[in-house]
Chain A
Amino acid sequence: MSAPRLLGEFDGPRQLLHAARLTRQTSPHRVTDAYSPLPVEGLLAEIEDIRPSRLPLALLFGGLGGAALGVALQWVSATQILPVLAGGRPFASWPDFGFAIFELAILGAAVSGFVALLVGCGLPRLHHPLFGVPDFTRATQDRFFLEIEPADEAEGRAHLGALGAIAVHEVPPV
């Protein structure tokens, strides 16, 4: 069994990014995640095993699905189920169909993007072992946490300390 994961607590985004970069480049420890009260630019590149998010695809396909639904719904109802002759206009009147298609496309993209966001983030998950870490409430306020999987616990603690961590916590097992 490997050593438990460690959380290094830092007091700024620059320190966090610096620590993540040094850990990945110069130490045997693995950077598994980071927690911050604001997005930190460039941090993602320093975390292991992270794939580029496919969330934009969810929005794209949701949007296309919504548009397809709009086309199908209007075409079927206006030409097959209930054709109403209005002023001699064609039953399948594309300029008029455009509005509902567009609105449904945006609606589809927004809803599927939201679902993809929740699924991708593993939310909703009201409780998480991390919430048991003392001080972790500050991860949403003013502190920055780096989560590493150390090759060896004592070495990992020393490493985080040397990077300027204010405190080092152990991540409780899931």
Chain B
Amino acid sequence: MSGAALLPKGASYASVTAAVSDPLLEQRAGRGWWIAFAIGCAGTLLMGGSIFWLLFRGIGIFGNNSTVVWGFPIANYVWWIGIGNAGTLISCMLLLTRQHWRSSINRFAEAMTLIAASIAGLFPILHLGRPIYFYWVAPYPNTMGAWPQWKSPLVWDFFAILSYLVFSLLFWFVGALPDFATLRDRARTRRAQVFYGVLALGWRGSARHWARYESFYRIMAALGVPLVVSVHSVVGMDFAASTMPGWAESIFPPYFVVGAMFSGFAMVLVLAAAVRSFLRVEGLVTLDHFDAMAKILLAGSIVMGLSYATESFQALVAGSETDRTLVAFEFTGAYAWLYWTQLLCNVALPQLLWFPAMRRSIPALIAIGLLVNVGMYLERILLIINTLSRPPVSSTWQIYAPTLWDGLLLAGSIGFFVFLFCLFLRLMPAVSMHEVRQLVPEGER
């Protein structure tokens, strides 16, 4: 796609700037935003209440039992960090491969990453029996003489999430610096001038600034890709470093990374539709963008299908008796209907995207995006409960069922995401203005 094709006819520097900044500076929020914000506030309260109850009563409020020791909290963690991985991955990979259409979507995809990764980081902590001691995974000299066990994937997770959060924040913030300066210079109220002025740190767009900016941003993008791959690989290791059937699989790290990209792209599709309606311009996030994202989603779905098939095939052909028991349980056991739903959402439904009409229909894409995220949630929870319900010793077999609090905490975390994303839309430039300006054709200012 050429750059000019991604912009409305007659786009100029001024029109691009106005399209992104006016909704923040000049216009009141629309009804859609207020409805989403109200839902987000309610969800945030729900999450706060659930966390309070959890801390008050302990992890007995969850559905976990003595056999299925992991349940919703770990599935929530993997699901959110998966969504959180996609933003930076999308943004870095598309920058390195010079996909110009990235300019319109990278900013909110990165914001999605930051929000989702922060929420994800909460769940392993909440899942601890004594969450106040979570800082024991950090290495620091202490009177107990205790140090982290470096052979534990949980410690790897701590480093991976910490690095990833700091990295994503810096990448996002530096990318937004020139846009904060634009907002500072366009703001008419004192409050907005001070707010964006402080965020812009005094950016002037000097040639010296741009040279350093570009050098920093490109190297960060190159570092971002292996970082993201490592983060979700480590999440895969949380499972693969064990000896449980269905977990101890060498395919896990890449399979987890693709899953993260897949669910993240599905989420970006949904958010792109939200941003497009919030900014009230069809010009910056076009149907061509949706078409390109849908193609990547389709590719992801094919790789996911291949991964599922490989998993089962390998267990049947090369696995032990416990592996075969597990595969039979997946397809015919207590949770089989969920497994079939997962395959439907993640593998079958996205095949509709072979049709160009589906790739250019926003309602269809929103539906597919949401269903893929449902499917990916099922994948994560089934990954946990299938294996744990069928451990090698059959006398310990147990079935898992989530409780009301499991559901409320998950729903609350989704509400909290909506709340933070609404704030982002209202306060931050949702599209990278300085990058879209580079797409404006020379003759048409």
Contacts and interface: CB of A to CB of B under 8 A. Distances in A.
A77 B147 contact: yes
Main secondary structure of the interface of A (DSSP, over half): helix
B13 to A, nearest CB: 4
B167 A141 contact: no
B206 A140 contact: no
Contact of A106 (B198, B208, B223): B223
Interface residues of B, number: 62
A140 B203 contact: yes
A104 to B, nearest CB: 7
A141 B442 CA distance: 15
B197 A107 contact: no
A165 to B, nearest CB: 16
B306 interface: no
Contacts of B156: 99-100, 103
A103 B160 contact: yes
Given A37-B182, A107-B163, A140 B150 contact: no
B209 interface: yes
Contact of A127 (B170, B202, B206, B435): B202
Contacts of B182: 37, 140-141
B174 to A, nearest CB: 7
Interface string A14-38: 1000000000000000000111111
A109 B151 contact: no
Interface string A89-132: 10001001101101110110111011011101101111110110
Contacts of A43: 207
B12 interface: yes
B230 A53 contact: no
B170 A114 contact: yes
Contacts of A59: 216, 219, 223
A40 B207 contact: yes
B17 A141 contact: yes
A167 interface: no
A82 interface: yes
Size range of the interface on A?
35 or more
Contact of A102 (B146, B210, B211, B230): B230
Interface in B1-45: 12-14, 17
Given A33-B206, A74-B150, A77-B148, A106 B201 contact: no
Contact of A35 (B174, B204, B234): B204
A43 B171 CA distance: 24
- Name the residue among A50, A100, A124, A127 with the largest chain B CB count within 10 angstroms: A100
A93 to B, nearest CB: 6
Interface in B225-269: 226-227, 230, 234, 237
A86 B149 CA distance: 9
Contacts of A36: 205, 207, 210
A161 to B, nearest CB: 20
A142 interface: yes
B185 interface: yes
Contacts of A137: 185-186
A36 B159 CA distance: 39
A3 B25 CA distance: 39
Interface string A27-64: 00000011111111001100100100101100100010
A40 B13 CA distance: 14
B122 interface: no
- Name the residue among A73, A100, A103, A116 with the largest chain B CB count within 10 angstroms: A103
Nearest to B439: A38
Nearest to A130: B204
Contacts of A123: 201-203, 209
A77 B139 contact: yes
B207 A81 contact: no
A121 B201 CA distance: 10
Given A117-B212, A123-B202, A141-B186, A35 B148 contact: no
Given A110-B220, A111-B170, A37 B212 contact: no
Given A11-B445, A37-B182, A37-B437, A56 B215 contact: yes
Interface string B376-391: 0000000000000000
B203 A126 contact: no
Given A103-B160, A110-B223, A97 B206 contact: no
Contact of A99 (B14, B160, B186, B437): B160
Interface in B414-440: 434-435, 437-438
A38 B185 contact: no
Nearest to B434: A38
Given A99-B234, A110-B166, A139 B204 contact: yes
Contacts of A138: 185
Interface of B: 12-14, 17, 139, 145-151, 155-156, 159-160, 162-164, 166-167, 170-171, 174, 178, 181-182, 184-186, 197-198, 201-216, 219-220, 223, 226-227, 230, 234, 237, 434-435, 437-438, 442, 445
16 contacts: A37-B13, A55-B212, A63-B223, A103-B163, A106-B167, A110-B170, A113-B216, A114-B174, A117-B174, A117-B212, A121-B213, A128-B202, A140-B181, A140-B185, A140-B205, A142-B14
